Amino acid sequence: MTMPIPEPQRGFLEQIISRLKKDDRLLGVAIGGSYLSGEMDEYSDLDLIIVVADAYYQQVLHERKLFANHSGSLLAAFTGEHVGEPRLLICLYENPLLHVDFKFLVLEDFKIDRVENPIVLWEKDNLLTLVIKDNPRNYPPLDLQWVEDRFWVWVHYGATKLGRGELFEAIDFLSFIRGQVLAPLAKMQAGLLPRGVRNFETELPHLLADFRQTIPMKYDSFEIAKAFQHSIYLYRQFREGLNKPELVVHSSAETASMQYLQTVIDAFR
């Protein structure tokens, strides 16, 4: 382990790795997430990848809750279908209270099913290290064209929620835009990984005043509309600032969606 690990995570890792080394069905264990960036603190969860020999994979997957239960004092565990990853087991342990994610893969999955290059904690025959060396991965960039192709449809959708008076839906929509579009674009412009709003306060403190304006100050149609308008303003600013001459801007959709949003806002008066 090359990165500093705070307690209680250190104690848990030492305990679980000692146990997993004795399981002949396993090929190795790797760690990702905040450990890779050196950002792990006492509030961090553990993102562990368990690589299983092909012959035992279905058995281990079937027994994964039992597997987790043997790894510590387990309070709760559930699989990750809600994030599109049924191979993931999300766990909460006590003594100490700790969130741990286990992702179960076979070696072939480990070659391709990654967005980062995890650190190997334990392995057999250098298998995981060789896969990482031969199949390096980079965090996927946000495709500005992908965003532009969708953004003005999203604006219209959000405006319909606002117009219908579905204010909680509209507020959730603003959170989506902030996390999936605005924060990643801001980080791209700053040369950072586009990891949504994660660590935004420390990575881009000069943008906090602007981003606070994308949050409605109260449950009120006018306040939500102001946050919509500022979110759109920021998107346009980032779109221009990233200076992508090849970008196809959907001007007609932009104009139509903005006119529709303004019509919705005018109806409040």
**Where do the structural domains in the chain lie, given as residue ranges?**
9-134, 144-266
CB-CB contact of 69 with 54 (8 Å): no
**pLDDT for the residue numbered 165:** 96
pLDDT number for residue 105:
96
Torsion angle in degrees (nearest 10) through CA of 56, 58, 60, 65: -170
Question: What is the DSSP secondary structure assignment for residue 247, as one 8-state letter?
Answer: -
Rounded to whole angstroms, how far apart are CA atoms 130 and 114? 14
Rounded to whole angstroms, how far apart are CA atoms 225 and 16? Answer: 50
Rounded distance, CA 28 to CA 107, Å? 9
Please report which helix (H) or strand (E) contains residue 173, including its range: helix 167-177
Distance CA 123, CA 126 (A): 6
Task: Identify the CATH number of the domain defined by range 144-266.
Answer: 1.20.120.330
Query: Identity (one letter) of the amino acid at 240?
Result: E
In angstroms, what CA-CA distances link 199 with 132, 135, 183? 27, 28, 10
Note if the bond before 205 is cis, omega within 30 degrees: no
Report how far apart, in Å, the C-alpha atoms of 174 and of each of 86, 170, 211 are: 28, 6, 11
Is 32 within 8 Å of 128 (Cβ atoms)? no
d(CA 153, CA 256): 10
Q: What is the reported pLDDT for 119?
A: 94
Contacts of 237 (CB under 8 A, 6+ apart): none
For the chain (269 residues), the mean pLDDT of every run of 10, in chain order, is 76 91 95 87 93 97 93 94 93 94 95 88 96 89 96 98 97 98 97 93 96 97 97 98 95 98 92
Q: How many residues does the chain have?
A: 269
Long-range contacts of 196-202 (CB under 8 A, 24+ apart): 199/39
Q: Is 173 exposed, middle or buried (0-12, 13-18, 19+ CB in 10 A)?
A: buried
**219: CB partners within 8 A, 6+ apart:** 167, 171
CATH topology of domain 9-134: Beta Polymerase; domain 2 (3.30.460)
**pLDDT score, position 1:** 45
239: tokens are 């779109």
In the chain, the amino acid numbered 14 is E
